[in-house]
Structure 1
Amino acid sequence: MSKNHPVLSRRNLLLSLAGASAASLLAPSAVTRAVSGDLFSQIDLRGGHDADLAGLLPDAVDDQSRRFQSAIDDAAAAGRILRLPPGSFVISNIDLPDGTRIMGVPGATRLIYGGRGHFMLAEGARRIELSGLVLDGANQRLGGHVSALLHLRGVSEAVIEDMAVAGADGHGITLEACAGRINHSEISGARLAGIYAIESRGLAITRNVVRDCANGGILVHRWSVGEDATLIDGNRVMRISARAGGTGQNGNGINIFRAGNVMVTNNLVSDCAFSAIRANSASNIQIVSNQAIRSGETAIYAEFSFQGAVIASNLIDGGTVGVSVANFNEGGRLAAITGNIIRNLSTQGPYSAEYAGFGIGMAIEADAAVSGNVIEGAPKWGVLMGWGPFLRSVNFTGNTIRDCGAGVAVSVVEGAGAALISGNMFDATPGGAIIGCRWNEVVTKDLAKTGAGQFTHLTLERNAVA
């Protein structure tokens, strides 16, 4: 050890001398800044492009669109980040070139739409990054060539993080034929929907707040049925209206249309005029571990021509129907519905009741395994199983139904297919635990007591009635 000690000492001496020489080359003020830590902040900003160098001035009264566009173009061409200071900038008709990277101070850098065209638009770019910006649409009218305050078309990698988007005349954000992610952002006050993603290519919409929008929360759509593979995870969606009317086209917290292989997980969706989560013609949909609170109509919906739906471990409190897996007449089939809690349903909906009406815990029709669910407080029926002849291969096992007008209302119409109702618990179902229906009309006594009898398509066994 003692032989190595002189070598270490000489090495330390050389390093000390080198550091002293470097320090002697700096001006006294530079040395002071280095000691104080400012030098490190300068190093951190080497990849940036300061807004003041482009002539941009925060909180100026004048429209700064021309200077803003120039600053974006210069930074993108140089492969640098355009860093914006706190303050407000009034801009319009901004085109985002490939390589755009804009970073503001979250909650403090505000870009205000001045009207007359579009706000921010990108088309055909490989990568666009926006973070830390407040986009304020000021409720100014958008041109017909865009549908959102921020509209990206054909962007291979769109990165939108730590943003706030408010006051959009259309959607807050539209991603058209894009991949990438929208993360940790807040979208509010849009005239249409908060986020509209159409023809996506593996998009991730995660950890956002979407609130107080007039007609939709998060919309994932396709022009035609196809694989989409969007991930919608960990978002808060609340207070979504349906000001454009309809019976379900609008007013949904999360709406999937024609988009296959989509995962909707771990979201908290509340106070929507229609559904918390609505999947229309969306095959291989997974709706797992969400909360759907105070929905105005059906809380969770898989409808029309889908094949394959997993609806599991969701908590539903409020709505006119808890879970509906419907439209076997349109090809809707193949579902696993497990481990959901459904409670506190209502017979009062946003339009006059049709078909079976409101106040139903769950509606199922074809090729479904239903197990481990708890349904409480459905004023009409705990479960509607089949609709006329549209019933096939339903396995209803190990569920708990209590405090409902009746337990299971199963179709006994000619042509209805097989159903197994086994090992379920029924408590406080004054209209009967299991009743046979012809569409909306009850035509049998309690089959849990009398047995299936003439209805050979039904197998009833080991059900407990309290």
Structure 2
Amino acid sequence: MTEDQERLSRRALLGAGVIAGTGTLVAAQDAQAAMPLKPVIVEFPASPLQQDISYTLQAAMNETAAQGQILQLGAGNFFCSNLSLPSGLSLRGVPGHTRLVLNGSGPLLQGIQADRICLSDLIFDGNALSLSEEASALLWFSQCERLVLNSCEITKSSKSGLVLEQCSGSVIGNHIHAIEDVALLSYNASALRIEGNIVSDCGNGGILVHRWSEGHDGSIIAGNQISNIAARSGGTGQNGNGINVFRADNVTISNNKVSDCKFSAIRANAASNVQVLGNTCHRSGEVALFVEFGFQGAIVSNNLIETAANGISITNFREGGRLAVCSNNVLRDITGTGPYAKDNQPLGLVLRLRQIPV
């Protein structure tokens, strides 16, 4: 090799090294850009004084939501009311130790036309204070999409615990108890998931999925534990139910444990294509499983019922109901002693079919 050729080879090798080094740098920058950024967590400590912090907490929620940050509340009590939750809010607490306490006529918090609100590991305490006439619940949401309420506690509400109007998202793994009216009431939902919650000691109802007029709802009510549901407002079945579905079509009610309800463990009224599957019902004051009025298509299967005034009633076919399957259910200790048990005779299964003229 000549001297000129050797110099040329060295220059080519050095150039290749520069190019290779540049490629490595670009690849490293691309890999770093592709890595997900860790969310920024903003801490908000509790005040040692029992003073209202509604204004400062509202400002912190607005700021962190706008910046895409997580607002982390510290352990302790936060006295507040009438908080308005913005879109994009991620609010979380210290599990079992962060308590938002109602300090007014409420609601404690509300969300209106907000998207992607996430609440987790928080205790919402109604403080046994009377809510105003305008406040239907301690927590109230309207037209909120992709709402997430996870691992929270709702307690001591003088009205309902949680009311959702035209919302989508999930309510999972919460504890709702000591509620004067209804634990959870959903109107006109869009494929809402209500799963794995513990509901107890409510004045008029556990989990209610209703619509203002009959139509597709698609909610899933699964794996909840519901107990001690009274009927303080009276009536002949509109109150006192563990799970109640009204006018909401295509709802699945599965694998729930429901006990000690004044009326029914599960009641579906004018709910087409309802599926009641694999639930366990103990000590129902009236009919344990009730499907009635204006439904088209119902499956009641693989449920276990123990101790009830009556077992399963699929009825009122003359009011537009049709197409029902009732199979593989286990019923025992049907007493016939409930407030509306027919002639005080225990009835395991009641099917009242529409008469067809010949």
Q: Give the TM-score normalised by the residue count of structure 2.
A: 0.87
Contact 2:94 2:122 in 1 (8 A): yes
For the residues of structure 2 that align with 1:236 and 1:205, how far apart are their CA atoms?
A: 11
Letter in 1 for 2:148: V
Letter in 2 for 1:183: I
Matches within 5 A, 1:284-433: 284-351=273-340, 353-354=341-342, 358-366=345-353, 390-391=354-355
Q: CA deviation at 1:45?
A: 7.5
Q: CA deviation at 1:299?
A: 0.1
Deviations along 1:338-357, one digit per CA (max 9) or x if unpaired, are: 10001101121125x55x65
Letter in 2 for 1:143: S
Name the residue aligned to 1:184: 173
Number of aligned residues: 323
Name the residue aligned to 1:375: none
Task: Say whether 1:223 aligns with 2:223.
Answer: no
Name the residue aligned to 1:49: 42
Deviations along 1:426-447, one digit per CA (max 9) or x if unpaired, are: xxxxxxxxxxxxxxxxxxxxxx
Query: Cα distance 1:59–1:111, how it changes in 2: closer, same or farther (>3 A)?
Result: farther
Letter in 2 for 1:365: R
**Aligned equivalent of 2:246, options 217, 235, 257:** 257
Runs ≥4 residues deviating over 6 A: none
Name the residue aligned to 2:120: 131
Matches within 5 A, 1:124-273: 124-273=113-262
Query: Cα distance 1:323–1:107, how it changes in 2: closer, same or farther (>3 A)?
Result: same
For the residues of structure 2 that align with 1:306 and 1:240, how far apart are their CA atoms?
A: 25
Q: CA deviation at 1:206?
A: 0.3
Matches within 5 A, 1:104-115: 104-115=93-104
Task: Say whether 1:99 aligns with 2:88.
Answer: yes
**Looking at both structures, which has the greater relative contact order when contacts are Cα pairs under 8 Å and sequence separation is at least 6?**
2
Q: CA deviation at 1:247?
A: 1.0
Deviations along 1:247-302, one digit per CA (max 9) or x if unpaired, are: 10100000000000000000000000000000000000000000011100000000
Q: Secondary structure at the match of 1:320?
A: strand
Query: Cα distance 1:146–1:116, how it changes in 2: closer, same or farther (>3 A)?
Result: closer
For the residues of structure 2 that align with 1:46 and 1:134, how far apart are their CA atoms?
A: 23
For the residues of structure 2 that align with 1:288 and 1:100, how far apart are their CA atoms?
A: 36
Q: In percent, how many aligned pairs have the same letter?
A: 42
For the residues of structure 2 that align with 1:233 and 1:106, how far apart are their CA atoms?
A: 23
For the residues of structure 2 that align with 1:44 and 1:346, how far apart are their CA atoms?
A: 61
For the residues of structure 1 that align with 2:115 and 2:122, how far apart are their CA atoms?
A: 21
Q: CA deviation at 1:321?
A: 1.2
Name the residue aligned to 1:283: 272
Contact 2:307 2:335 in 1 (8 A): yes
Letter in 1 for 2:282: I
Name the residue aligned to 2:18: none
Deviations along 1:387-437, one digit per CA (max 9) or x if unpaired, are: xxx346xxxxxxxxxxxxxxxxxxxxxx5x8xxxxxxxxxxxxxxxxxxxx
Letter in 2 for 1:284: N
Name the residue aligned to 1:434: none
Letter in 2 for 1:335: A
Q: CA deviation at 1:61?
A: 1.1
Contact 1:273 1:350 in 2 (8 A): no
Q: Give the TM-score normalised by the residue count of structure 1.
A: 0.67
For the residues of structure 2 that align with 1:167 and 1:358, how far apart are their CA atoms?
A: 38
Q: Secondary structure at the match of 1:189?
A: strand
Query: Cα distance 1:44–1:165, how it changes in 2: closer, same or farther (>3 A)?
Result: farther
For the residues of structure 1 that align with 2:283 and 2:49, how far apart are their CA atoms?
A: 44
CA RMSD of the aligned region, Å?
1.7
Contact 2:202 2:230 in 1 (8 A): yes
Name the residue aligned to 1:75: 64
Contact 2:106 2:138 in 1 (8 A): no
Q: CA deviation at 1:77?
A: 1.2
Contact 2:261 2:284 in 1 (8 A): yes
Letter in 2 for 1:363: V
For the residues of structure 2 that align with 1:240 and 1:126, how far apart are their CA atoms?
A: 32
Q: Secondary structure at the match of 2:308?
A: coil
Deviations along 1:224-267, one digit per CA (max 9) or x if unpaired, are: 00010000000000010001111101000000000000000000
The answer for unaligned runs of 5 or more in structure 1 is 1-42, 367-389, 393-414, 418-466
The answer for unaligned runs of 5 or more in structure 2 is 1-35
For the residues of structure 2 that align with 1:250 and 1:146, how far apart are their CA atoms?
A: 20
For the residues of structure 1 that align with 2:78 and 2:48, how far apart are their CA atoms?
A: 6
